[in-house]
Amino acid sequence: MEWKSDYFTYAENKIHYFHGDGDKNPLILLHGAMDNGLCWSPVAQKLSENYRVIMPDARGHGLTEILDNSLSIDLMAKDIAMFIQNLKLETPQIMGHSMGAQMTALIASKYPELVSRIVLEDPVIRFNKISKLRKGLFKFLAKIIVSILIKGSYEKLIKRGRKQNPKWSDEELQPWAESKILFRENNPKILKGILDNPPDWKDVFQKIACPILLITSDKGITSDKTARSIVDLSKECKWIKIEGAGHNIRREQFERFMQEIQDFLVP
């Protein structure tokens, strides 16, 4: 499917997004760090049969242009809230992966009137506060990891991605590699802003009123302890743990992932 490419502008910021046509119920897909909207392509292709799929590029990623280059989960959530309001999307469902799952949870908490239900794929959530020393260490390690992940030509990225992720399809690898090049052309240093002033996630989940589907894996980032805390804090949360996958659950266990989200989402 050929996705349309458009921009939404507010406060001199240009939020880029890909989308399908039609008057079906809107479904917004929010990507993880260093990815972009098209990294949802295989999932979006399948879901486009029943939904109007919309895939924004988060600030600092893809083709989105932010005037002051500032980045935080709070600002990223605000971008999507403004996006929903100005495009007059009627209580869309939102699904997010990793960083995108953080954004999704925060949108549902701060702007409950804009969302009908959410899906969180291996969200990067910490309920305990991080000390300044550990935060500094995380930033240092993140800088090294990011520089490694975005290094190389498109061909080298594809080769490395195929070697490191043998379960990924070519349909996943192509947009993944392209997103790394786009991220490299932006300002990779702003990614550290995600670690600054994180939300109080306990408060966030207590305020979410809509149904939640939490999807984790046996080799992902979200621990069972964190998942249970999310379930306990939330008003309505279904937790699914998928075996045989890492942080990128949909890319490694596509059929099972799709089965779970299609059972949860409302057409």
pLDDT in tens, 99-129: 999 999 999 999 999 999 999 999 999 887 7
Per-residue pLDDT tens digits for 228-250: 999 999 999 999 999 999 999 99
pLDDT score of 130 more than 80: no
For the chain, domain boundaries: 4-129+198-264
- To 10 degrees, what angle do helices 73-86 and 99-110 make? 60
pLDDT score of 186 more than 90: no
Query: Which amino acid is located at 91 in the chain?
Result: T
Q: Which strand (E) or helix (H) includes residue 93?
A: strand 93-97
In 10 A of CB 90, how many CB atoms?
A: 9
* Residue 259 confidence (pLDDT): 98
Which of 71-80, 193-202, 255-264 has the weakest average pLDDT? 193-202
Q: Which residue has the higher pLDDT, 140 or 85?
A: 85
pLDDT score of 142 more than 70: no
pLDDT score of 187 more than 80: no
For the four alpha carbons of 130, 131, 134 and 137, in that order, the dihedral sign comes to positive
pLDDT score of 202 more than 90: yes
Average pLDDT over residues 31-37: 96
CATH topology assigned to domain 4-129+198-264: Rossmann fold (3.40.50)
* Residue 189 confidence (pLDDT): 78
pLDDT score of 25 more than 80: yes
Parallel, antiparallel or unpaired: strands 4-10 and 13-19: antiparallel
Please answer whether residues 150 and 34 qualify as being in contact, where contact means their C-beta atoms are separated by less than 8 angstroms. yes
Per-residue confidence band for 256, with pLDDT thresholds at 50, 70 and 90: very high
User: Residues 158-185, buried b or exposed e (16+ Cβ, 10 A)?
Assistant: bebbeeebeebeeebbbbbbbbbebbbe
Parallel, antiparallel or unpaired: strands 52-56 and 237-242: unpaired
* Residue 88 confidence (pLDDT): 94
Please answer whether residues 71 and 198 qualify as being in contact, where contact means their C-beta atoms are separated by less than 8 angstroms. no
